[in-house]
Structure formats: C-alpha cells, structure tokens
Chains A and B, each alone.
Chain A
Amino acid sequence: EIVMTQSPATLSVSPGERATLSCRASQSISTKLAWYQQKPGQAPRLLIYGASTRATGIPARFSGSGSGTEFTLTISSLQSEDFAVYYCQQCDYWPRTFGQGTKVEIK
C-alpha cells in the first residue's frame, strides 16, 4: 500500500497570504495525484487532479505541481472560504490512499 504523507499537519496563514501544502508518496505515482478540500460538516470537494489540473469551477488561486513522489498545493492568496482541511490522494494504485490531511487555519 502506498503511504501518503502530508505536511504540515496544521498551517496558520493570514488572509491574503500564500499557503503551500506538501504531499509525499512512499513510491512514485507519476502525476496520478488529486487534492481535495473539506470544510466542517461537508463532503470533500475535488480541487486538483493529475497533479496540476484544476477541477471544474475551481478558482485560479489554487494550483498544483509535482511528479513522482513530491507534490505541492499552492493557494496564492487565501480567502476566508479557503480555511479548511486539504487531503491529497494517490490515484495510481489500489488501494487509492489518502494523506492524513493539512488543516489551514486563520492566523
């Protein structure tokens, strides 16, 4: 099973600042990586797939990069609605494992 490790566990950011979230896979997954956003009491929402492709309706301030084992989600200028938990998921091998999540909180 591929282990996905996200860092940091919690990221404190002021509105308008940039947030950079990391995700590492225990073995190469090419660009088969997705990012999700989850707000309290809601289902997750797909943000990014294929490591860098924004899903439908996702604002341009969200961007993804990386390949192999190292991936990054960047939120260029945090808006109030972006404070949430973010999960990465590898989409290359079964079982399709998720990272443990990064909580982005207001500083």
Chain B
Amino acid sequence: EVQLVESGGGLVQPGGSLRLSCAASGFTFGNYWMYWVRQGPGKGLVLVSHISTDGSGTNYADSVKGRFTVSRDNAKNTLYLQMNSLRAEDTAVYYCTRDLPGVGASDFWGQGTLVTVSS
C-alpha cells in the first residue's frame, strides 16, 4: 500500500525556517517524481515545488522561489522541503504527492502537515 506521511509542520515566526519531511513507503520511491502542494486556510490548491527522480531537476512556484528548497534522499525514501524566510502567506497545509508517470497529475497524497507563520 502506497503511503506518504508528512511531518515537521508547526508554528513559526515570520522570517523563520522550517523543514518538512515526507516518508514514503509501499512503492519504489526513487522511480517517481514528487511534488509539494499547499492549501491555505479555506483556500484552493497551489503546487509549490517538484523534484525529479534523482533530485537533479527541481522547479518552484514564483511565490516561493529563492526561499524554499526541495530535496530527496532515495536511500531513506524521504522527500524534504526546506522553507526559509517564512511569511504569513505561507501559512497552509502542505501535502506531499506522488507524480503519475507520463501524466503530471498527483495520484497519491499524504495527509498533510500544517504550517502556521505568525508572531
């Protein structure tokens, strides 16, 4: 069974940093692109970042470019999102998702981890 379990969310002050993790199981993690998608309170979905199978290719939404860094450790079956210079507007539930190969959609989602940026 495919499982994605996010962790690392919490309350952080504006300007602070946080690192999210996503532990994957039930599939060959290193064979899949992965995404981070966020959802602000009462809002819609925004794809924040993606990373290729070996980590050599990454992409970011303009709103987080230069502040967030996505990475992965295929030996540990874990995806990461390093978030720096956090702003109030980064407050959201962050989901880790798996890419459906050749399609670009997210076929499996974690349960999400809440990040709250507030003083």
Contacts and interface: CB of A to CB of B under 8 A. Distances in A.
Chain A complexes with chain B: yes
B100 to A, nearest CB: 6
Interface residues of B, number: 21
Contact of B100 (A1, A46, A92): A46
Interface of B: 35, 44-47, 50, 59, 61-62, 95, 100, 103-112
From DSSP, what is the main secondary structure of chain A's interface residues?
A: loop
A97 B105 contact: no
Given A87-B44, A98-B47, A99-B44, A43 B105 contact: no
User: Chain A: interface residue count, which band?
Assistant: 20 to 34
Contacts of B111: 43
13 contacts: A32-B103, A34-B103, A36-B106, A45-B109, A46-B106, A50-B103, A87-B45, A89-B45, A94-B59, A95-B47, A96-B47, A98-B47, A100-B44
B105 A49 contact: yes
Give the most central of A1, A46, A87: most B CB within 10 Å.
Answer: A46
Give the most central of A1, A43, A46, A91: most B CB within 10 Å.
Answer: A43
